Structure 1
Amino acid sequence: MRRGTRYGALLGPLLAGGATPDLVTRAARGLGLPERGRYAVVVLGTPVPDAVVAEGPDVDGARWWWGSAEASPGAVEGSPGAAEAREGGRQVAVVLLGPAGAARAAARLRELGAGPGGVSPVVGSLAELGAARRLAGTALLTCEPGSREIVRLDERLPAALLVSRPELSTRLLAEVFGPLLTLAPAERSLLVETLEAWLECGGSVGRAAGRLGCHRNTVFNRLRRLERLTARSLSRPRELVDLVLALEVLRLSSAPP
């Protein structure tokens, strides 16, 4: 993996988006990268661990280029991405992927203790890195506050839609979970935990009861109470979608349930 001011200066215009063909060609030559290839962008919310920036390709053959950690995570000072880069101390890398693709890149970051972080979908050229950086940043926003998650955008598309429109997410949470949020924290957490367990168990009350360590009737009664509070039925698909999305907004909130 490579890192430094020169690499950051070359990557910056690409990651900012809208780079001209001549600029893309110059950056490709300076970085020793093909203009067309299988690329992903990584955005980390914390400083990059030293092990992550070791020189050379990784075991999958992927090659990593990190932008400067000072003025930018891959954005040169004065570029459209520079101010955004400084916010929150984010770090950005361009990855020329190996055979295992973006999933292996995400797994390697987890193994090295990086995170939280977001990984973009695969793009086919250096000219598409600006769009990939934005999508990787959106993926990072879907990480639970305080977590060390490394997530790929394609694994978090519903959550990505929610974080992309925070005003609508806030409205959704208030509209669906408003009465639930007025409960005492412990009571609210119990109902939320039960809903999460029921969803993770594929809608099985019995399996959810086993996971929670309680009787299945207890799970059933909690779910019925949640339905009454939210005026939505778990048996109606459209209303279930409302509940699942509101639960996702709650997960992404900095406040505990």
Structure 2
Amino acid sequence: MAVDCLKGVDGLLGDWLETVQPLRDQYEGAVPDEDFRESAVQAFELLLRTVAGLPVPAELAGTSGRIGERRARQGVPLDSLLAAARLDFRVVWDALVARADDEDKVLLVASAYHVWEAVEAHVTGIMTAYQRTVLEMGRQREDERRLWFDRLLETGGHNPTVVRDVGLALGFVPGGRFLCVAALPGPGPGGGLHGAAAALRSAGATLQRQTVSSASLLVVQLGPRVTEETVLGRLEGVPCGVSPVADGLAGVPRAVELATATVRALPGAATGPLRLADAWLDVLVGRAGPFAAHLADDVLGGLKDQGEQRGAVPAAERERLLHTVRVHLAGSGSIAETARVLYCHRNTVQQRFTRFCELTGRDIRRPEDAALVALALRARESGGK
């Protein structure tokens, strides 16, 4: 009976097209009629040969995979595609029943599972190929997005044509506002950045995530629904560096550089995001390279540990002077405030500043010297000395 159906496969095609039409209405424009009919004929030939136990040519054996791959690329919804493929059972079964006499029908019912197994193998082949193709297409799209983003970084945002094309490729508005976040690669920060990206996507954010210069990046377009505070809230518990807001897509390369520099200045015990505005001293020291050690030596060289040289400053005095300077630099610059924090008289603070100036040549009361001392202290604390 299956062989007889195979000879009249065009009749099966007509029945199937009528049955499947309500499903096809959902994606009719995506699949040309000729493609639709040709695939259906090949599918019925595959099923009937399988049911009849006939040899299946290699070209015909790959029908399920080709249908799954092609429909995925055509954008046909998977559930509609599988529902249409499962209708093959009804059409084939009706055709077999129509060709069976009473005695054959008894045997046919007992063998129904053969037909169902053939259809399910076909459906499984379609689904496997479809899902594999969707994954491949997703990877290709991500690769394309990464290439476009790399192109933006390479040009530094100075080429208006590239900025425009990157906006189209990534779904960014070239004139929008962007926040860049960088985390060091690894299971901890990288995983947290991935989770933040997923949560922001769910909130409707347009973003790009990829690895650049050994750092994991997240670039988020800000708007009414996704603000800077929204992004920082999603980054809670994620050690990362956060750039200032970039005005326009052309400013993203600079923001990426600043975010990457900030994450490299993170203290080892960091448990959350660090804004560049709160990390400039550490960033500058980190970018100074070996000059950070030279800076610490030059500015603070007069404060030697006892035993390093004859006439060195006693350790207790050195630590007292440094503590006073640190408190002053961390405050508003008011000597009265520094005295209040240290629980001492303002004249005592003045005397310590004078002594510090005698030893280092830097007067902490002068803004220029204060800035230099702040950098030198940070360099010293970060290992510059």
The TM-score normalised by the length of structure 1 is: 0.68
The one-letter code of the counterpart of 1:236 is: R
Cα distance, 1:163 vs. partner?
Answer: 3.0
1:215 lines up with 2:333 in the alignment: no
1:166 lines up with 2:301 in the alignment: no
The one-letter code of the counterpart of 1:167 is: P
Alignment of 1:178-197 (within 5 A): 178-180=301-303, 182=305, 188-197=318-327
1:117 lines up with 2:241 in the alignment: yes
The one-letter code of the counterpart of 1:215 is: C
Could you list the per-position Cα deviations for residues 79-108 of structure 1 after superposition, in whole angstroms to 9, with x for gaps in the alignment?
A: xxxxx31xxxx3210110124987526632
Percent identity of equivalent pairs: 24
The 1:47–1:174 alpha-carbon spacing in structure 2 relative to 1, beyond 3 Å, is: same
Residue 14 of structure 1: aligned partner: 149
**Could you say what the CA RMSD is over the residues aligned between the two structures, in angstroms?**
3.8
Cα distance, 1:133 vs. partner?
Answer: 1.4
Kept in 2, the 8 Å contact 1:180–1:229? The answer is: yes
Kept in 2, the 8 Å contact 1:118–1:138? The answer is: no
The one-letter code of the counterpart of 2:276 is: L
- Work out which of the residue numbers 28, 46, 52 in structure 1 matches 2:196: 52
Number of matched residues? 230
Distance (whole Å) between structure 2 residues aligned to residue 205 and residue 54 of structure 1: 49
Kept in 1, the 8 Å contact 2:263–2:274? The answer is: yes
The 1:35–1:236 alpha-carbon spacing in structure 2 relative to 1, beyond 3 Å, is: closer
Cα distance, 1:128 vs. partner?
Answer: 4.4
Distance (whole Å) between structure 2 residues aligned to residue 41 and residue 30 of structure 1: 18
1:245 lines up with 2:375 in the alignment: yes
Distance (whole Å) between structure 2 residues aligned to residue 226 and residue 41 of structure 1: 41
Structure 1 runs not aligned, ≥5 long: 68-72, 76-83
Q: Tell which has more relative contact order, 1 or 2 (C-alpha 8 A, sep 6+).
A: 1
Distance (whole Å) between structure 2 residues aligned to residue 203 and residue 26 of structure 1: 49
The alignment partner of 2:362 has SS state of coil
Distance (whole Å) between structure 2 residues aligned to residue 97 and residue 219 of structure 1: 47
Distance (whole Å) between structure 2 residues aligned to residue 189 and residue 106 of structure 1: 41
Distance (whole Å) between structure 1 residues aligned to residue 195 and residue 259 of structure 2: 21
The alignment partner of 1:246 has SS state of helix
> Comparing both structures, which one devotes a greater share of its residues to strand?
1
The 1:168–1:135 alpha-carbon spacing in structure 2 relative to 1, beyond 3 Å, is: same
Kept in 2, the 8 Å contact 1:178–1:230? The answer is: yes
The alignment partner of 2:178 has SS state of strand
Of the structure 1 ranges 21-30 and 186-195, higher mean CA displacement relative to structure 2 is found in 21-30
Could you list the per-position Cα deviations for residues 181-209 of structure 1 after superposition, in whole angstroms to 9, with x for gaps in the alignment?
A: 63687765543332121123323334223
The alignment partner of 2:248 has SS state of strand
Cα distance, 1:9 vs. partner?
Answer: 5.5
- Work out which of the residue numbers 324, 349, 354 in structure 2 matches 1:224: 354
Residue 200 of structure 1: aligned partner: 330
Distance (whole Å) between structure 2 residues aligned to residue 23 and residue 235 of structure 1: 49
Residue 66 of structure 1: aligned partner: 209
Cα distance, 1:29 vs. partner?
Answer: 4.3
1:43 lines up with 2:43 in the alignment: no
The one-letter code of the counterpart of 1:14 is: F
The 1:219–1:52 alpha-carbon spacing in structure 2 relative to 1, beyond 3 Å, is: same
Distance (whole Å) between structure 2 residues aligned to residue 100 and residue 160 of structure 1: 31
Kept in 1, the 8 Å contact 2:179–2:221? The answer is: yes
- Work out which of the residue numbers 212, 216, 219 in structure 2 matches 1:91: 216
